[in-house]
Amino acid sequence: MSALSGVRVLDISQVLAGPYAAMLLADLGADVIKIEAPGHGDHSRQMAPRVADNVSGAYLAVNRNKRGVSVNLKDERGRELVRRLAENADIVIENFRPGVAARLGIDFETLSVANPRLIHCSISGFGQTGPYSARGGFDLVAQGMTGLMSITGEPDGPPVKCGVPITDLTAGLFATYGILAALAARERTGVGQQVDASLFEAGLGLEVWESVEYFHTGVTSRPTGSAHRLGAPYQAFRCADGHFTVGADGDRHWPRFCEVIGRPDLPADPRFATNTERLANLAALVAEIEERTVTRKRDDWLALLEAAGIPAGPIHTVPEALEDPHTRARGMVVDIEHATLGPLKALGPAVKLSDTPASVRTAAPDLGQHTDEVFGELGLGAADLAELRDAKVIA
């Protein structure tokens, strides 16, 4: 039994935030039906990296555990098929610009008439209301407009975006959080509701410390490189063969760290006696620390720091992180079988449930792979499907 066994989801979204949210639900056992346009399908199918001539790694990454249907939403018969699927669905996820779903007749107001229990999630760039609601949703733009880029990078450097599409992925996470809350509420009320998530609000929602700094002190947060804006030392330091990270800002760890690096005098220095002083004199603090850390290699320091109980770690490349024995022990790299490509590797579920665990069962579907299967469940026979295919309503 999976956590979401028996829950059906229609995924009418593409590229990242919506498909990511739907994939998280699929990992938990939901029956997710991915609805794509005939011919080109989800835009991510055309994106890099190419795993094979006609297969995109970007598409594979966020569409596993789904059944794939190809239907033409520009045709009223195609839209009617989707509405019929929605009558027996629990959740619909779409990421059209606000207003498009209503024009297609697959918005919450329309679909909930036939299915009052339906939970309808709309993911957009700026939400369903407000002066920017009609704008498209792009992670880079959202990172800039929410202030994330203004606090990322090195001090006095140019604006830098996060290394991952953080507002896209977080919008998907927040959408999933809203959907699961709506499912819980439906258990009490018997009716569904609209879930409205956006890249813009996802970016703002991550600024928990930066917002309180501004609200209560009037200070505008600035980039701090790898350093923490509220504690020091808590950042990356140079060593003889690169960098490593240390979190020694607490009163317990700070003097112990100084002992390890051979500078037991630093806690008595008035510039570094408290966390407040250390933050105020961060450049001087880093210089004093790195005078010692550059004398030894990373792994030597990490062994000493671990023995002393001080939080520290290497700065891995992505391949190093994926090959790390702890990554593998936690099931974060899994093997999966693709219908045409054969065995592939994928990221495993990031949350572990003891009784109803998430799992990776099937690879992302080929375009329209399950069209006949899914619409056959509506009672359409072979002749009906052939007629719709000849009319280019399905593919």
> Which of the residues are catalytic?
168
Q: What is the largest CA-CA distance in the chain?
A: 85
Q: Could you count the other beta carbons within 10 Å of the beta carbon of residue 52? A: 10
| Residues contacting 114, CB < 8 A, separation 6+ | 83, 86, 87
Instruction: Give me 219's structure tokens.
Output: 């200070």
Terminal-to-terminal C-alpha distance of the chain: 33
In order, the DSSP letters of 292-334 are HHTTS-HHHHHHHHHHTT--EEE---HHHHHH-HHHHHTT-EE
- Taking the C-alpha atoms of residue 205 and residue 167, their distance in angstroms, rounded to an integer, is 10
253-262: Cβ within 8 A, 24+ apart: 253/309, 253/310, 253/311, 254/278, 256/308, 256/309, 256/310, 257/233, 257/305, 257/308, 257/310, 259/308, 260/301, 260/304, 260/305, 260/308, 260/310, 261/289, 261/292, 261/293, 261/301, 262/292
250, exposed or middle or buried, with CB in 10 Å at 0-12, 13-18, 19+? middle
Kind and range of the H or E run holding 70: strand 66-70
Q: Evaluate whether 176 touches 21 at the Cβ level (below 8 Å).
A: yes
334-351 burial: b if 16+ Cβ within 10 Å, else e: bebebeeeeebebebbee
| Rg of the chain in Å (alpha carbons) | 25
Helices (H), 63-135: 76-87, 100-104, 108-114
| Residues contacting 97, CB < 8 A, separation 6+ | 124, 125, 134, 135, 136, 137
- Taking the C-alpha atoms of residue 326 and residue 312, their distance in angstroms, rounded to an integer, is 15
